[in-house]
């Protein structure tokens, strides 16, 4: 109802809050009536002031009207449940305030635990969110190939077109190249760009990479077009519109900007700065030009029609269809499998894949860690609550006498723990907000808290709810079971069962902590092992430069220059670096080969200096000769290759060997060395004499690295003035291969430390509780002559026993878990006893420090004080 | 104790209820007392007094009579109970008796 001269609404709100519901209507009516009069007599302003004044005086409690006079049905026995709940809140609040230290430990422990879980939740959601932003994510698949012992993410050139023509379920097929490095130049500013991909023209219609400028339909249609991301557009053109501008490529031709892409989301497995049409690459690439079957070098993605079912059977049918296409056209034995695009990030372990994939194992490990840390924090709560149960026992007894049912009490204590969980959650969110930048550094992510995201709140709310319920469950059941007569008579003692449970929970906490500590020790040791392992060559002091532009034409001049300078004389030219080798061929023949056997031999094309400069060892035969025309058809193989071919060292040299169509002879055997990340075992390897470019690798003399770089730069800028000079170190590249493992190590350390801290918070609380309960006993002992060390050991040994038990339980668990993790590496450390001992001693000494603080405090206390107040 | 003791303000409110004869509720009583005594009356004080009187059984109340300027909210209409009337007259009687005891020169002339 609307009427003039409405009094201020907020005052009415206040009245509604202040007054009992049954009195509100009449009072408000009276107030409004008077207000109308005041407005008429004295004007709006004065009326408002009077209204406020009158309203404020209702702060005084009103006597309850006797409603049974006129409303006989309304009696107090029907008081709303709200009254009871309000009482629960009051009591919970008081209980919290009365034991500030305990409440602090409780809330701190829970908050730290929750903060950990929230961080992990953010991390895990991010890992799981990869590639889901594509509008057609559920219809997108990548083709992977399984050729004998090698699984790869690449396919042959003509595959995409044939699939699109022959398999009706496929709407479109897109090919994508590997990363290319090009020199790009706009108005004299040059940058070497390493993240350029070539894609078929339907790329933008299949994937959801929106264009900020340009037309998606035609963006990749002309061969000399280029697309770049917003970030790159800014780098090259600043604030000017990039569309239609020209970019000079590799000091030669101009390409035209056909569109600007919105920056690629961090949770895309495809990461690139530039995109060029496949038709451009086809101008120079023989295989593309002639549409050749034979080698695997493109990523192929398929978009299925919307109505195509994607259950296992239908996918299997598609797999078979693609495999059949392969059989009809190519010689190599291979099977094809479709991989959903949303699986690529976490479920890829393929040869020649794009770099930067995650690992589902780590997602699982961290999820488990999150759950455990939350559990450890909940256990704290349970433990402290049961330990202090005696203090709440009288309240429980009284409530029961007055008529509370057990369900009510369970509800009360559950509610209480939910309330504490809620407070902890708020604190946890503050921690998360503060720690997120550090966490991002550790995990190499760009996570952020989106406070308006309902999913975040759903997840976080679920964490709080679960924590509250789990941690409240035991105290609720335990406290509500008290018998009122016993507790009110005051005969309640710490029951045996509750002590047992409490100890069990402490053991559980320390089991988790010790397992995490062992994990940390093992992960770090494995990382150390990787870094210091003998790779089969000397990886220190290896500087390399990629050959570009003119260096190819001036190859001989380059070699001459390098040879003339004593700093750079120790060099080798090689097609590939022995870090993360991707190539391989099945076209291999040797004497007595089983015709049905299909093996893949990776190969490296190297020059005659390679073996010497890298510090590898020839076991039989010889290395390549310099300038030897005859060596063009000669091969060096590694030990593993000998083993696969069934040859032995003594007789292998001189045997005929055919590789990739070249018939030649084995002239030497090199000792096995790692040319892939050491998750993989060493495979057979063929070395050929290099007759084209790749990399120049220089072994620098110790202490002369700087001078060598300068010398190399001088040579490079002389022979190849159009390109900026750039160089890398091989050992740094190798270290980067294990970035995921290194990050895992960091995360493990942090979470292990937090688990220990939370456990100790609980232990501290418990020891304080025990010390307090035994104050009198300690005083009496002291009076009778016990020394402080005796008392400290009396109070500490019980807890330390628990940690020891935890250690015994944790050891086999940690052993199994870490053994499994290490199995993922072809070369790994062995688990040894000292890792476990270290974790055990660490846990024990931290626990000892925690407990002894309280123990020493009570052992040193003046016994008179506690005995006097009897 | 056979009779309820009333505070001065309560008595004033009770008297108002008595003379307004069924048309007495919070706002009207506030206005009436203000008009007759000239003092500022706070609404909450009136309500406190009314509920206390009801508790003591001196007045009774019923709900009704919504009007436009109240935004359609109902009033609680109070009326005096026989017990209330008795109490009032007893008070008055006591006062009268005491007035009689005051020496003449001090009595204000009423005639």
Give pLDDT, residue A133: 93
Please name the residues in contact with B45: beta carbons below 8 A apart, sequence gap of 6 or more. Answer: A57, B9
The answer to whether A232 and A217 have CB atoms below 8 angstroms apart is no
Neighbours of A788 (CB within 10 A): 13
Give pLDDT, residue B2: 46
Q: CB contact, 8 Å: B56 with chain A?
A: no
According to DSSP, the β-strands at A603-606 and A686-689 are: parallel
Question: Residue A615, SS3?
Answer: coil
Q: CB contact, 8 Å: A66 with chain B?
A: yes
Please state, in angstroms and rounded to a whole number, the distance separating the CA atoms of residues A372 and A378: 10
Give pLDDT, residue A407: 85
Residue B24: DSSP 8-state: B
pTM of the model as a whole = 0.71
According to DSSP, the β-strands at A571-574 and A170-176 are: unpaired
Give pLDDT, residue A79: 57
Interface contacts A/B by beta carbons within 8 Å: 88
Domain ranges of chain B: 8-97
> Under an 8 A CB cutoff, do A62 and B25 touch?
no
Question: Closest by alpha carbon to A389, among A248, A235, A501?
Answer: A501
Give pLDDT, residue A424: 92
Torsion of CA A4, A8, A14, A20, to 10 degrees: -20
User: A170 burial class (0-12, 13-18, 19+ CB within 10 angstroms)?
Assistant: buried
Cα dist from B34 to A199, A419, B27, B31, B39, whole Å:
90, 50, 11, 5, 5
> Under an 8 A CB cutoff, do A29 and B73 touch?
yes
Distance from CA of B60 to the nearest CA of A (A): 8
Which residues of A fall within a CB distance of 8 Å from B62? Answer: 70
Please state, in angstroms and rounded to a whole number, the distance separating the CA atoms of residues A228 and A174: 19
Give pLDDT, residue A74: 44
Contacts 24+ apart (CB under 8 A), A160-164: A160/A200, A160/A298, A160/A300, A161/A291, A162/A325, A162/A329, A163/A300, A163/A302, A163/A321, A163/A322, A163/A325
Which two structure tokens, joined as six digits, stand for A803? 């940690």
According to DSSP, the β-strands at A634-638 and A662-670 are: parallel
Q: How many residues does chain B have?
A: 111
Which two structure tokens, joined as six digits, stand for A8? 């201020």
> Under an 8 A CB cutoff, do A69 and B51 touch?
no
DSSP line for A78-143: G--HHHHHHHHHHHHHHHHHHTHHHHHHHHHHHHHHHHHHHHHHHHHHHHHTTTTTSTTGGGEEEE
> Under an 8 A CB cutoff, do A66 and B55 touch?
yes
> Under an 8 A CB cutoff, do A66 and B31 touch?
no
Please name the residues in contact with A708: beta carbons below 8 A apart, sequence gap of 6 or more. Answer: A543, A567, A568, A698, A700, A701
Q: B111 pLDDT band (50/70/90 cuts)?
A: very low
Give pLDDT, residue A792: 86
Residue segments in chain A with a per-residue pLDDT below the cut of 50: 1-2, 68-77
Neighbours of B4 (CB within 10 A): 17
Please state, in angstroms and rounded to a whole number, the distance separating the CA atoms of residues B25 and B77: 5
Which two structure tokens, joined as six digits, stand for A397? 């007894």
> Under an 8 A CB cutoff, do A60 and B60 touch?
no
Residue A824: DSSP 8-state: T
Give pLDDT, residue B109: 59
Give the containing element (helix H, strand E) for A713: helix A705-719
Question: Residue A676, SS3?
Answer: coil
> Under an 8 A CB cutoff, do B71 and A66 touch?
no
Residue B42: HSE in the Cβ half-sphere, 13 Å Cα cutoff:
13
Give pLDDT, residue A174: 94
Q: CB contact, 8 Å: A660 with chain B?
A: no
According to DSSP, the β-strands at A225-229 and A180-186 are: unpaired
Give pLDDT, residue A699: 92
Give pLDDT, residue A493: 55
Q: What is the CATH number of domain B8-97?
A: 1.10.10.10
Please state, in angstroms and rounded to a whole number, the distance separating the CA atoms of residues A311 and B19: 88
Buried/exposed code over A592-623 (b: 16+ C-beta within 10 A; e: otherwise): eeeeeebbbbbbbbbbbbbbebbbbeebbbeb
Give pLDDT, residue A466: 86
Distance from CA of B41 to the nearest CA of A (A): 9
> Under an 8 A CB cutoff, do A32 and B60 touch?
no
Give pLDDT, residue A68: 45
> Under an 8 A CB cutoff, do B71 and A54 touch?
no
> Under an 8 A CB cutoff, do B67 and A30 touch?
no
Which two structure tokens, joined as six digits, stand for A694? 């790749």
ipTM of the complex: 0.83
Q: Which of B44, B61, B68 has its CB closest to that of A58?
A: B44
Q: Which of B70, B74, B79 to mutate to test the interface with A (most CBs of A within 10 A)?
A: B70
Q: B3 pLDDT band (50/70/90 cuts)?
A: low
User: A28's torsion region: left (phi>0), alpha (psi -120 to 50) or beta?
Assistant: alpha
Q: CB contact, 8 Å: B86 with chain A?
A: no
Q: CB contact, 8 Å: B90 with chain A?
A: no
Distance from CA of A59 to the nearest CA of B (A): 9
Please state, in angstroms and rounded to a whole number, the distance separating the CA atoms of residues A265 and A491: 65
The answer to whether A604 and A687 have CB atoms below 8 angstroms apart is yes
> Under an 8 A CB cutoff, do A34 and B73 touch?
no
Please state, in angstroms and rounded to a whole number, the distance separating the CA atoms of residues A286 and A279: 12
The answer to whether A195 and A178 have CB atoms below 8 angstroms apart is no
Q: Which of B69, B74, B81 to mutate to test the interface with A (most CBs of A within 10 A)?
A: B69
Q: CB contact, 8 Å: A15 with chain B?
A: no
Q: B110 pLDDT band (50/70/90 cuts)?
A: low
Please give the angle made by the CA atoms of B75, B79 and B81, to the nearest 5 degrees. Answer: 145
Give pLDDT, residue B1: 38
Residue A93: phi and psi, rounded to 5, are -65, -45
Q: Which of A25, A34, A64 has its CB closest to that of B30?
A: A34
């Amino acid at each position: 109802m609307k009427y003039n001269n409405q009094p201020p609404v907020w005052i009415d709100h206040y009245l509604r809050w202040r007054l009992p519901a049954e009195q509100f209507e009449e009072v408000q009516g009276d107030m409004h009536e008077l207000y109308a009069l005041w407005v008429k007599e004295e004007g709006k302003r004065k009326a408002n002031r009077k209204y406020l004044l009158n309203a404020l005086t209702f702060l005084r409690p009103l006597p309850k009207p006797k409603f049974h006079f006129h409303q006989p049905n309304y009696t107090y026995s029907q008081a709303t449940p709200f009254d009871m709940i309000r009482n629960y809140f009051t009591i919970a609040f008081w209980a919290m305030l009365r034991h500030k230290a305990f409440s602090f430990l409780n809330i701190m422990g829970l908050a730290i635990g929750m903060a950990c879980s929230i961080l992990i939740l953010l991390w895990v959601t991010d890992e799981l969110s990869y590639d889901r932003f594509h509008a057609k994510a559920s219809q997108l698949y990548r083709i992977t190939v399984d050729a004998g012992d090698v699984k790869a993410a690449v396919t042959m050139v003509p595959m995409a077109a044939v699939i699109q023509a022959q398999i009706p379920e496929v709407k479109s097929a897109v090919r994508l190249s590997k990363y290319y490095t090009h020199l790009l130049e706009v108005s004299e500013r040059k940058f070497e760009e390493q993240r350029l991909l070539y894609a078929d023209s339907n790329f933008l219609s299949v994937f959801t990479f929106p264009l900020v400028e340009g037309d998606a339909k035609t963006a990749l249609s002309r061969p000399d077009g280029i697309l770049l991301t917003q970030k790159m557009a800014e780098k090259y053109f600043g604030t000017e519109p990039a569309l239609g501008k020209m970019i000079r490529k590799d000091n030669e031709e101009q390409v035209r900007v056909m569109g600007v892409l919105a920056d690629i989301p961090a949770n895309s497995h495809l990461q690139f700065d530039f995109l060029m049409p496949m038709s451009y690459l086809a101008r120079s690439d023989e295989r593309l030009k002639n549409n050749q079957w034979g080698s695997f070098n493109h990523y192929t993605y398929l978009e299925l029609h919307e109505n195509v079912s994607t259950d296992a059977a239908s996918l299997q049918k598609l797999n078979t269809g693609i495999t059949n296409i392969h059989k009809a056209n190519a010689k190599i034995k291979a099977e094809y499998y479709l991989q959903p695009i949303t699986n690529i990030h976490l479920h890829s372990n393929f040869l020649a894949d794009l770099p930067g994939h995650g690992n589902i194992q780590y997602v699982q490990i961290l999820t488990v860690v999150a759950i455990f840390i939350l559990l450890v924090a909940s256990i704290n709560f349970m433990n402290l609550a049961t330990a202090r149960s005696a203090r709440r026992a009288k309240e429980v007894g009284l409530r029961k006498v007055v008529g509370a049912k057990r369900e009510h009490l369970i509800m009360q204590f559950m509610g209480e723990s939910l309330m504490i969980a809620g407070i902890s959650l708020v604190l946890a969110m503050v921690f998360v907000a503060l720690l997120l930048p550090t966490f991002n550094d550790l995990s190499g992510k760009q996570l952020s808290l989106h406070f308006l995201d309902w999913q975040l709140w759903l997840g976080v709310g679920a964490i709080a709810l679960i924590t509250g319920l789990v941690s409240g469950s035991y105290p609720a059941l335990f406290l509500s079971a008290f018998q009122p007569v016993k507790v009110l008579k005051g005969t309640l003692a710490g029951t045996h069962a509750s002590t047992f449970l409490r100890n069990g929970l402490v053991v559980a906490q320390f089991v988790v902590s010790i397992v995490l500590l062992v994990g940390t020790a093992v992960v770090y040791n494995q990382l150390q092992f990787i870094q210091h392992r003998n790779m089969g060559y000397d990886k220190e002091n290896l500087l390399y430069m990629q050959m570009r532009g003119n260096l190819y034409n001036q190859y001989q001049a380059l070699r001459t220059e390098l040879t003339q300078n004593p700093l750079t004389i120790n060099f080798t030219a090689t097609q590939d670096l022995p870090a993360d080798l991707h190539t391989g061929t099945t076209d291999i023949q040797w004497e007595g080969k089983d015709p049905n056997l299909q093996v893949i031999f990776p190969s490296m094309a190297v020059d005659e200096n390679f073996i010497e400069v890298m510090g590898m060892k020839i076991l039989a035969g010889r290395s390549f000769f310099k300038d030897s025309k005859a060596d063009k058809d000669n091969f060096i193989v590694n030990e593993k290759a000998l083993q696969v071919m069934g040859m032995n060292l003594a007789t292998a040299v001189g045997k005929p060997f055919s590789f990739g169509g070249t018939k030649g002879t084995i002239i030497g055997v090199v000792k096995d060395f790692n040319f892939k990340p050491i998750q993989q075992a060493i495979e057979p390897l063929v070395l050929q004499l290099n007759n084209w470019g790749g990399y120049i690798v220089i072994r620098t003399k110790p202490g002369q690295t700087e001078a060598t770089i300068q010398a190399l730069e001088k040579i490079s800028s002389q022979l190849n003035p159009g390109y900026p000079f750039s160089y890398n170190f091989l050992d740094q590249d190798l270290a980067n291969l294990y970035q995921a493992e290194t990050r895992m190590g960091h995360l493990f350390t942090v979470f292990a430390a937090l688990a220990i801290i939370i456990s100790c918070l609980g232990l501290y609380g418990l020891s304080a509780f025990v010390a307090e309960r035994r104050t009198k006993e300690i005083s009496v002992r002291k009076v009778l002559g016990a020394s402080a060390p005796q008392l400290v050991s009396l109070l500490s040994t019980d807890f330390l026993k628990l940690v020891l038990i935890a250690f015994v339980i944790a050891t086999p668990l940690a052993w199994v878990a870490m053994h499994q993790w290490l199995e993922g590496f072809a070369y790994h450390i062995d688990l040894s006893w000292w890792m476990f001992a270290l974790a055990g001693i660490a846990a024990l000494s931290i626990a000892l420090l925690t407990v002894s603080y309280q123990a020493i405090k009570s052992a040193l206390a003046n016994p008179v004080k506690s005995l006097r107040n009897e | 104790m056979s009779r309820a003791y009333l505070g001065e303000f309560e008595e004033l409110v009770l008297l108002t209820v008595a003379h307004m004869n069924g048309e007495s509720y919070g706002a009207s009583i506030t206005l009436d007392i203000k008009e007759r005594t000239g003092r500022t009356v706070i609404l909450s004080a009136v309500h406190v007094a009314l509920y206390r009187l009801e508790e003591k059984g001196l007045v009774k109340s019923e709900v009704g009579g919504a009007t436009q300027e109240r935004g359609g909210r109902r009033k609680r209409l109070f009326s005096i109970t026989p017990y209330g009337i008795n109490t009032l007259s007893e008070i008055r009687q006591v006062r009268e008796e005491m007035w009689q005891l005051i020496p003449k020169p001090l009595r204000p002339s009423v005639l």
